[in-house]
Amino acid sequence: MHDAIKFIQGNEVCVEAALYAGINFFAGYPITPSTEIAEQMAVRLPETGGKFIQMEDEISSMCAIIGASLTGHKTMTATSGPGFSLMQEALGYAIMAEIPCVIVNVMRGGPSTGLPTHVGQGDVCQARYGTHGDHAIVTLTASNHHDIFRMTIEAFNIAETYRTPVILLLDEVTGHLREKIEIPEPGKIPLTKRLRTAVKSGVDYHPYLPREDGRLPMSDFGDIHRYNVTGLYHDMWGFPTDKPQIVYGLIRHLVDKIENNTPKITRFRKYYTKDAETLFISYGASARSTLHLVENRRRRGENVGLLELQSLWPFPADIVREACQHVPLVIVVEMNMGQITKEVKLAVDDPKKVFLANRIDGVLITPTDIRNTLRVIQGKGV
């Protein structure tokens, strides 16, 4: 028996992956269905010399991981619906001050306290637009343990590369189900180290002056360079300013560093898309049900395919447009009222061919549900 093979919950996979990625600080607050992440972090982090703290709420949890990131640590928090709402304020701060960190939201049914123990995918737009002001955001997702492991590591890597918070949207089903995961040997998956400044002591360091490639080397709190960090618009020293040309430059930088790198950030899987006459687009737990249906239909000789999105924001419009180009029927499968469907409609040339197959009652959408929607669209009835 191989020790690296584990049979654990998706939430625990997320913890193992974060440890693999080099996390050394986690702050959180218990909330269903994400609590196992905090519990497991409390066990595992001190074993590696890292720190776990249970804060007084999700607001302070988000603030604490930003503070810890500034001392040079890889940091993460995990929450669900209502907690994610509370984190929006400091999430905006992390975007503005360009602090690398990872926020996991194990989605449950909303709005409000909604359905604590049941699945939903209603926080997709909140991940994108939840915090105030124009901004760009990176959001990844996963449907199975192998991908939860990879996407958690990607989240840390992207956070460091672009000096940005990254949201990992899991859901109650993928977070709680148990399946096999093989933990890769250390070093097998590349990790992105924090880019630190090479500026020497006594030379002026500009924490907020991007290099030519758009990246901003950091300096840890406690190191030689002392600088200011603020959520206000700020100049290259991090000092508050409202000069229009600096304000313009910063907001452009914050959005462009993400949006212009969409191809590099985009992650997806394609199943039988080449000759598909019906293309499903899905993500997270919904993608499992969709893939189940696609495999069944393929065995019967039907030309159906699946584009599984593993990154939702920035929305991979080019990939979606290309995949949908020669397909007469596109069905987006998600457990909300069409949050990604709207994006797909905007991306494709003919939005009329895009339909939604969904379920919003806290129950995982079934392959039968999806098949029935397909039959109705095809005019065959259920």
Partner 1 sequence: MEKCRLLFSGSGGQGVITSAILLAEAATRYESLNAIQSQSYGAEARGGATRSDVIIWDKPIFFPKVNQPNILICLTQAAFDKYIFSIRPGGTLVTDSRFVKNPGLVDARKVELPFYDTVMEKIGKPVVLNICLLGAIVRMTELVRPESVAALIRERFHPSFHEINIKALELGVELMSGHAMATQ
Partner 2 sequence: MALKDYIRQRFFPHIWCPGCGHGIILNGLLRAVDTMGLDKKNIVMVSGIGCSARISGYVDFHSLHTLHGRALAFATGVKLSKPELNVIVPMGDGDALAIGGNHFIHAARRNIEMTAIVMNNRVYGMTGGQFSPLSGYGTMATTVPYGNIDHDFDVVDLATSAGATFVARTSTYHVHELAELITKAINHKGFSVLEVLTQCPTYFGRRNRIGDASEMMEVYKKNTVRIGSKKKQENPDLLERGIFVQKELPEYCREYDNIISKARQK
Secondary structure class of 311 (helix, strand, coil): strand
Closest by CA to 210, choosing from 236, 183, 229, 184, is: 236
**Stretch 82-111: interaction string toward partner 2, x if CB under 8 A:** -------xx--x------------------
Distance CA 123, CA 11 (A): 18
Which residue number, 46 or 351, has a Cβ lying nearer to partner 2?
A: 46
> Which residues lie below 8 Å from residue 314, measured CB to CB, with a gap of 6+?
136, 137, 138, 258, 259, 262, 265, 266
By rule CB under 8 A, what count of residues binds partner 2? Answer: 45
Residue 79 Ramachandran class (φ > 0 left, ψ -120 to 50 alpha, else beta): beta
Considering CB distances under 5 to 8 angstroms, the limit depending on partner class, which of partner 2, partner 1, none binds residue 173? Answer: partner 1
217 contributes a contact to partner 2 by CB under 8 A: no
Distance CA 340, CA 114 (A): 21
Closest contact distance (angstroms) between CB of 300 and partner 1 is: 16
Closest contact distance (angstroms) between CB of 189 and partner 2 is: 24
133 contributes a contact to partner 2 by CB under 8 A: no
Using CB under 8 A, list all residues that contact partner 1: 1, 5, 7, 116-118, 173, 176-180, 285, 288-289, 291-292, 295, 364, 366-367
Which residue number, 148 or 285, has a Cβ lying nearer to partner 1?
A: 285
Of the residues 187, 202, 222, 379, which one makes contact with partner 2 according to CB under 8 A: 222
Of the residues 57, 256, 275, 350, which one makes contact with partner 2 according to CB under 8 A: 57
Which residue number, 96 or 365, has a Cβ lying nearer to partner 2?
A: 96
Which residue number, 226 or 252, has a Cβ lying nearer to partner 2?
A: 226
> Which residues lie below 8 Å from residue 19, measured CB to CB, with a gap of 6+?
44, 45, 48, 50
* Among the residue ranges 145-153, 186-194, 233-241, 331-339, the one whose residues contact partner 2 (CB under 8 A): 233-241
Strand (E) or helix (H) holding 268: strand 268-271
Beta bridge partners of 315: none
Closest contact distance (angstroms) between CB of 228 and partner 2 is: 5
Longest CA–CA separation in the chain, Å:
75
Considering CB distances under 5 to 8 angstroms, the limit depending on partner class, which of partner 1, partner 2, none binds residue 295? Answer: partner 1
Chain positions 289 to 308 lying near partner 2, rule: CB under 8 A, are: none
Secondary structure class of 63 (helix, strand, coil): helix
Chain centroid, CA 332 distance in Å: 19
Closest contact distance (angstroms) between CB of 247 and partner 2 is: 17
Residue 364 CB coordination number (10 Å):
18
Distance CA 299, CA 165 (A): 42
133 backbone dihedrals φ, ψ, rounded to 5°: 90, 155
Chain centroid, CA 27 distance in Å: 18
Considering CB distances under 5 to 8 angstroms, the limit depending on partner class, which of partner 1, partner 2, none binds residue 27? Answer: partner 2
Closest contact distance (angstroms) between CB of 224 and partner 2 is: 6
Residue 272 CA neighbour count, 13 Å, CB half:
21
Residues binding partner 2 (CB under 8 A): 24-25, 27, 43, 46-47, 49, 51, 53, 55-57, 59-61, 63-73, 75, 89-90, 93, 220-224, 226-232, 237, 239-240
